[in-house]
Amino acid sequence: MDQDELHILIADDHPLFRSALKQALAGRLEAVWEEADSADSLEAKLKLRQPDLVLLDLEMPGSHGYSTLIHLRSHFPAVPVVVISAHEDPTTVAKALSYDCQGFIPKSSDPDQLAEALQIVLDGDTYLPSNMAELAEPSFEANDIGAKLAELTPQQYRVLQMFAEGMLNKQIAYDLGVSEATIKAHATAIFRKLGVRNRTQAVIALQGLEMEKKVL
């Protein structure tokens, strides 16, 4: 199997939904699909192979509220997680974001929305439906960014600069002579250290610091 193939893992306990989701995205997103129907089966699959993306239902067997999401972000930080849920209320969405998911997709989304959302996340940003966009506003204070930026390693800072240049993970990996998985791991560390959720917010933080320097 080609190691460059896109691997997406659907974690949902309803086989009909998993099948419908794959069918809806057929022809819109080229991927190798894997499936898990419980928290335990999801972890077992992740230990065998870490996919490029996990689509997570919050209500699988073995999950307790947001516990599976929290566990994934803690133990598999390089794997982006998108919550896909029938619950679309602002509280659910805000809590999912606070536990560091990379996106929230309502199960009522049409196939084109689904494909667009997944591509946005795969490109390194967070996806939210337009009517929920305000929930993704940055939560950092600009005057804290200088100290947070100092925590980045030289390689992480270089990756952040390349984010600001609009480069994709694949381009950055090629330029730095490393794998895309390494770039994703750097990105995760950058987001954690800066206290942001995605590359857009990281770039805003960097640009905010540059603006402060100009003012001073």
Could you tell me if residue 216 is inside a domain? no
Domain interval for residue 160: 144-208
Q: How far apart are CA 172 and CA 180, in angstroms?
A: 8
Could you tell me if residue 215 is inside a domain? no
In this structure, the answer to whether residues 122 and 150 fall within a common structural domain is no
Q: Which tens digits make up the pLDDT trace of 112-148? A: 888 999 988 888 888 888 777 666 554 444 446 667 7
In this structure, the answer to whether residues 130 and 162 fall within a common structural domain is no
Task: Identify the domain boundary among 82, 110, 135.
Answer: 135
pLDDT of residue 211: 36
* 149: CATH: 1.10.10.10
39 burial (CB, 10 Å; 0-12 / 13-18 / 19+) is: buried
* 94: CATH: 3.40.50.2300
Could you tell me if residue 101 is inside a domain? yes
Task: Identify the domain boundary among 97, 118, 135.
Answer: 135
pLDDT tens per residue, the chain (216 residues)?
344 688 999 999 999 999 999 998 888 888 899 999 998 899 889 989 999 999 999 888 877 678 788 788 878 888 899 999 888 888 888 888 878 888 999 988 888 888 999 988 888 888 888 777 666 554 444 446 667 777 788 788 889 889 988 999 999 999 999 998 899 899 999 998 888 888 888 888 877 654 333 333
